[in-house]
A and B are shown apart, each in its own frame.
Chain A
Amino acid sequence: MARRHARVGYGLPTLLAVGLHGLVLLVSVISLPASDHEPKPSSIVQATLVSTETVTDQAQRAEAAKQRALARQAEEQRQAEEQARQEAEAAAAQEAQRQTEEAEQAEQEAQRQAEEAARQAEAEAERRAADAEEQAQRLEQQRQAEEEAARQRAKEAEEQARREREAEAQRQREKEAEEQARREREAAEQRQREKEAEEQARREREAEAQRQREKEAEEQARREREAEAQRQREKEAEEQARREREAEAQRQREKEAEEQARREREAEAQRQREKEAEAQRQREKEAEEQRRAREQAEAEMQRLIEGANEPATNAQQGQQAANDFTALVRQAIEQAWRIPPNVASGARVEISVRLGPSGELFVAEVATSSGDGAFDRSAVQAVEAAAPFAELRQLPAHLQREYRRISFVFSPEGVR
């Protein structure tokens, strides 16, 4: 029997324990930096949504598409512009004409009103004058009657005087009576004259008042005309402003429609290009495919030229869906994004993303580096973690192709 009665010492266990701890330390130093940022930033994501605008590489594609369909597009644009201009001009001309007509009409009306006022005033004056004349005639008749009476009385007095003369002392009395009658007549005449003068004065006063009133009416009419003209001018100015605004809005709308149409065309061009590439891969179907694509493109173009409005609204809806899609994608990326600590606040990295047809991630690569490797990597990892973007399938077909290439700008404040 082996009689090794040496005790189990502490040397070897100590060595082993120290070795174990050293190994653990070594492992933590070597591999933990790579792995420790997985458990650590499990906390809240700091990314915030700064704006809802999306940055895609639409501009690049737009340029490419533009170069391809430049002539076509320019022509169309020119046509549309011309049409818009003509329309605007016609509208403006019509508006101006209408306005001048209106002004004229208003002027005529004012004139008519003034005339009427004048006529009225004249009629009034005439009536007043007739009244006065009538009154005067009446007075004259009265006077004549009175004269008649006086003459009769005088005759009677003469008769009496003759009778009295006949009765010896009749002449004197007759003379006296005659004298008296004359005096009376004179007095009557005097009264009559006075009355007449009074009447005359009254008439003159009335005529004066009448003139005054006429003048006033004239004045009033003039003022009214002026006010009317003023109002007219204001209305004109307003109308002018409104017309300008309308024209502006019209121009804006036309521009928008143009823009939409252009985008649509670009999308179309994009699709066609991809189709061509596909066709190139499939050599045997090439001719047919190309011809079909051309025909389709032509039909599309025809449709675009014929009715620019309808595809514009379609494109608008598509644009809306695309915005929703990019917002969703951006949100997903933000949630998946773990910003490494100690990133400079101005750091910006642009990540260009290519997606598969059903939203799976093909490539996410750094388009413009921020200079901070960790930051760039974190952005790429965020995109990788957020993939797949199944929302892509909900987009309209032509936009699906467009949005299979997106680029995002990451900055410490958020994804754009």
Chain B
Amino acid sequence: MNDAMSIPHLIMNASTVVQLVMLLLTVGSLLSWIVIFQRTFLMRRARKIHRGFEDRFWSGVDLNELYREVPPEQETEGGEHIFRAGFREFNRLMPKTRSPQAILDGVQRSMRVAWSREEERLNRHLVFLATVASASPYIGLFGTVWGIMGSFQSLSMAQQATLSTVAPWIAEALIATAMGLFAAIPAVIFYNRLTAESGRMLGKYEDFAEEFHSILHRNLQGRSDAAGA
């Protein structure tokens, strides 16, 4: 119809500052979407792995067997990572001390470390998403204000200030705000969603760590009773 008002045309005709702002916002939007996709996939996989591991853990398999299934140099994740960290520490401490309390302390500490690593892994890049979500509207607004300033400057030079002389300027300035919102809205939504997801996963890991800890505690208690008897 009139390509003077189409969005690509407006972007091409915008002033340099506004174009830079638009570029920044485009990059921010792109990166935030990369993070969103990557985190979504990662969360889904972590959930799947955790479910599989819990099924196997509670299937009545021997813990030593479960521990030996995976070669020690291979990196694991989720609940399995916590289990391996705790069980390795348990196996290492068992020959060195007879105090069940000391063993349980060491196991708990190592499991907490593993949980903390899992937390760091799950929450990586989510801060970037939060930054994009909160900053890009302001960046877009800056571009709009700059563009409107330019439009008023051009208006002061025009002989007759009709709407059609300012309209393209304002439209192209408003595109910056639109792009800011375009970047911010998915970032906000997915930041909330992914944070909730990772919190839920970390809660599951914590539950598992507590359960594993109670199993080890029961084991040690039985062994010390047997040793005592």
Contact surface of A with B, Cβ cutoff 8 Å: 1-3, 5, 8-10, 12-14, 16-18, 20-21, 24-25, 28-29, 32-34, 36-37, 40-41, 43-44, 46, 339-342, 374
Contact = CB atoms under 8 A, between A and B. Distances in A.
Minimum-distance CB pairs A-B, first 4: A13-B37, A17-B33, A13-B38, A341-B164
B45 interface: yes
Interface size range on B against A: 35 or more
B60 to A, nearest CB: 15
Contacts, number: 87
B196 to A, nearest CB: 19
Is the contact region of chain B dominated by helix, strand, or loop, or is it mixed?
helix
A340 B75 contact: no
Interface in B11-56: 26, 29-31, 33-38, 41-42, 45, 52-53, 56
Nearest to B53: A1
A13 B41 contact: yes
Given A10-B34, A21-B29, A21-B30, A46 B163 contact: yes
Contact of A341 (B45, B75, B167): B167
Contacts of B33: 13, 16-17, 20-21
Contacts of B162: 46
Contacts of B7: 28-29, 32, 36
Interface of B: 1-8, 26, 29-31, 33-38, 41-42, 45, 52-53, 56, 69-70, 74-77, 162-164, 167-168, 171, 182
A14 to B, nearest CB: 5
A342 B171 CA distance: 15
B34 A341 contact: no
21 contacts: A1-B56, A3-B70, A5-B75, A13-B33, A13-B41, A16-B33, A16-B34, A17-B30, A17-B31, A17-B34, A18-B30, A21-B33, A25-B8, A33-B5, A33-B6, A43-B163, A340-B1, A341-B2, A341-B164, A341-B168, A342-B2
Contacts of A33: 1-3, 5-6
A374 B29 contact: no
Nearest to B74: A5
